[in-house]
Amino acid sequence: MTNTETMAAGQTGARVPTTRSYLMCRPDFFTVSYKINPWMEPTKPTDTAKALAQWQVLYDTYVGLGHDVQLIDPIDGLPDMVYSANGGFVIDNIAYGASFTHPERMPEGPAYMDWFRSHGFDVRVPRNVNEGEGDFLLVGDTILAGTGFRSESQSHSEVAALFGREVVTLTLVNPNFYHLDTAIAVLDPIAGETPANIAYLPSAFDDRSLEILRDRYPDAIIVSEEDASILGLNSISDGYNVVIAKRAVGFERQLRERGYNPIGVDLSELLLGGGGVKCCTLELRRA
Ligand code: ARG
């Protein structure tokens, strides 16, 4: 059995990991010098060397799992660039660029688009404010799209037209969970024989969105406020291995019960900027 065929018996059947390609950005210039989400406290000191060491563990974890990890050069003065999930949304080799809400992050949009262009992606310049995979999650064949704090709902229609896929708008209501990827974890990103599943924090959504989630994902993992409050949901799954925040022990147990293989990493320093595992990872879907 090869790495990509490793089988794991779980309650809902065998989990099969597939090899992924990710884009990451070293936190060489990481700090918290402005506040654009409730997690950020510019007066609190940050430790860039520690951020780098923790980030390196995440990078090494992906490589160890057999995934391809690409790197974009960090830019001095853009401390949030480490959160590459916000750099775009990539499916079928098409890279939908990001257009940031806050002026502090706006230069990241073109920087990421330049990278996509020079690496052979078909780049589409966005017409609406959106923060990439922070608010767009591919679950099976469906795109779950967040709004409420960052991405404008008009970007959802743009993405639907661009990728020709179903886009489901979900409204976030708690400022601590300002991006969709802080409130939902995609567990089985690729449509397979078993329906793609998710994990989520119900209180992060308005009633209408919650109804949609309950209806579409009756078997979803419901995480505790405690685990979500350390961005436990901000995780990356390859269909079997799920890289999560080390301190999210309840979520870890829930994943194990369902036949996934949770792998805990400590990104405490990057949490000071309001980001976790998923925020530091952008999936590059070539096909
Ligand atoms: N400081 C960054 C911001 O507020 C954190 C981004 C986190 N990224 C994510 N995909 N949730 O924009």
- Residue 7 in this model has a pLDDT that exceeds 50: no
Q: Which whole-number Å values give the CA distances from 160 to 124, 136, 208, 240, 255, in the listed order?
A: 13, 11, 20, 28, 31
For residue 274 and ligand 1, the question of a CB distance below 6 A is answered with: yes
Best mutation site among 144, 279, 282, 283 for ligand 1 pocket (most ligand atoms within 8 Å of CB): 279
Distance CA 152, CA 148 (A): 8
Q: How far apart are the CA of 279 and the centre of ligand 1, in A?
A: 6
| pLDDT, mean of residues 6-25 | 74
Q: How far apart are the CA of 83 and the centre of ligand 1, in A?
A: 6
For residue 132 and ligand 1, the question of a CB distance below 6 A is answered with: no
Which of the four pLDDT bands, split at 50, 70 and 90, describes residue 287? confident
For residue 151 and ligand 1, the question of a CB distance below 6 A is answered with: no
* Range of weakest confidence among 2-16, 34-48, 84-98: 2-16
Predicted TM-score (pTM) of the model is 0.94
Q: Residue 131's pLDDT is what?
A: 98
Nearest CA to ligand 1 atom 8: 279
Which of the four pLDDT bands, split at 50, 70 and 90, describes residue 14? confident
Ligand 1 nearest atom to the CA of residue 86, by list position: 10
- Residue 204 in this model has a pLDDT that exceeds 80: yes
For residue 273 and ligand 1, the question of a CB distance below 6 A is answered with: yes
Find out whether 277 and 265 touch, Cβ atoms under 8 Å.
Answer: yes
Tens digits of residue pLDDT in 59-113: 999 999 999 999 999 999 999 999 999 999 999 999 999 999 999 999 999 999 9
How many CB atoms neighbour CB 251 within 10 A?
26
Q: Residue 194's pLDDT is what?
A: 64
Q: What is the CATH number of the domain that holds 270?
A: 3.75.10.10
Structural domains of the chain, count: 1
Which of the four pLDDT bands, split at 50, 70 and 90, describes residue 193? low
Distance CA 21, CA 286 (A): 8
Which of the four pLDDT bands, split at 50, 70 and 90, describes residue 195? confident
- Residue 239 in this model has a pLDDT that exceeds 70: yes
- Residue 8 in this model has a pLDDT that exceeds 60: no
| pLDDT, mean of residues 214-229 | 97
**Looking at the annotation, which residues are catalytic?**
179, 279
Q: How far apart are the CA of 273 and the centre of ligand 1, in A?
A: 7
Best CA proximity match to 92, nearest among 156, 143, 153: 143
Domain span including residue 158: 3-283
Q: Residue 12's pLDDT is what?
A: 47
